[in-house]
């Protein structure tokens, strides 16, 4: 029997305020939230959302200035926990800072699934956001837009490969927890495969899954055939 992997999320407070926490709560087990100790107040609505995770939330206050310095603390925490927790635990970093990528790649090489997921500056359900290149924060190069560095044959091969990897993850998710709407499926795909998000528009992935008869979309709702 397949067991759903545990996932830890690492995020700074500023990014936390700009994402849909509910969606992440459904697929992750623990949040590590880095916050400047100069922040004296946290919105009540955000506290309420995070309380639903109970002991799954760890607030870490640090004496620093700016989000860039918080990234250094996140990197330190990643390295520290990598030596302590079981390799089956997946690390998800929510950040637009690509300077973290070499460390995340190293952690992957050591046998742990570890990715950085970019936080879009557009509304979460605007799945066409990647078409609006150049309006983000500039942390990713232009070549990381959908299809930017891949030839057509290689792009097709990777697309099929990534769809198969995503299907494996969806198989081990209980049916009641699978994304039900197209925007939710796009968010799931982005969260679980950063490389896919760098090279492909999420709607394109959904359309390809439809063509392969892996799913059907009826009235914006996703029906799974596996």
CATH number of domain containing 17: 3.40.50.1010
pLDDT single digits (tens) 128-137? 333 333 333 3
- 35 and 10 in one domain? yes
Two tokens, residue 59: 């607030």
Together in a domain, 102 and 143 = no
Highest mean pLDDT among 129-133, 146-150, 182-186: 182-186
Judgement on whether residues 77 and 176 belong to the same structural domain of the protein: no
Of the residues 95, 119, 143, the one at which a domain ends: 119
Q: Are residues 77 and 130 in the same domain?
A: no
Domain count, the chain: 2
Confidence (pLDDT) at 178: 87
Q: Same domain for 83 and 133?
A: no
| pLDDT at residue 225 is higher than 70 | yes
Q: Identify the top-confidence range among 124-138, 145-159, 206-220.
A: 206-220
* The model scores a pTM over 0.75: no
Question: Looking at residue 81, what is its pLDDT?
Answer: 93
Residues 112 and 18 in one domain: yes
Q: Are residues 170 and 147 in the same domain?
A: yes
65: left (phi > 0), else alpha (psi -120 to 50), else beta? beta
- Whether residues 216 and 155 share a domain: the answer is yes
Determine what percent of the chain is predicted with pLDDT higher than 70.
75
Strands 215-218 and 221-224: antiparallel
List the domain range (segments joined by +) for residue 144: 126-226
Residue finishing a domain among 85, 101, 119: 119
pLDDT of residue 141: 31
Q: What is the dihedral of CA 2, 210, 189, 6, to 10 degrees?
A: -10
User: Is the domain of 61 the same as that of 93?
Assistant: yes
Q: What is the pLDDT of residue 138?
A: 37
The model's pLDDT over 37-67, given as tens digits with 9 standing for 90+, comes to: 887 778 877 877 787 777 888 899 888 765 5
pLDDT one-digit tens code per residue, 83-113: 999 988 989 898 888 888 888 888 888 888 8
């Amino acid at each position: 029997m397949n067991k759903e992997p545990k996932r830890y999320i690492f995020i700074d407070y500023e990014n936390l305020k700009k994402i849909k926490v509910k969606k992440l709560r459904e697929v992750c087990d623990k949040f590590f939230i880095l916050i400047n100790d100069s922040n004296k107040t946290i919105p009540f609505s955000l506290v309420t959302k995070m309380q639903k995770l109970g002991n799954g939330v760890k607030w870490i206050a640090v004496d620093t200035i700016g989000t860039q310095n918080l990234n250094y603390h996140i990197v330190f925490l990643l390295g520290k926990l990598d030596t302590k927790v079981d390799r089956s635990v997946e690390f998800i970093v929510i950040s637009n800072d690509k300077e973290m990528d070499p460390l995340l790649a190293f952690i992957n090489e050591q046998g742990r699934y570890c990715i950085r997921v970019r936080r879009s500056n557009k509304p979460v359900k605007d799945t066409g956001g990647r078409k609006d290149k150049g309006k983000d924060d500039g942390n990713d190069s232009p070549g990381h837009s959908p299809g930017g560095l891949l030839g057509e044959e290689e792009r097709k091969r990777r697309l099929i490969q990534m769809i198969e990897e995503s299907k494996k993850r969806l198989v081990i998710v209980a049916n009641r927890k699978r994304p039900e709407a197209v925007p939710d499926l796009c968010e799931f795909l982005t969260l679980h495969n950063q490389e896919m998000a760098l090279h492909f528009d999420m709607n394109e992935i959904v359309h390809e899954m439809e063509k392969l008869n892996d799913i059907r979309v009826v009235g914006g709702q996703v029906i799974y055939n596996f």
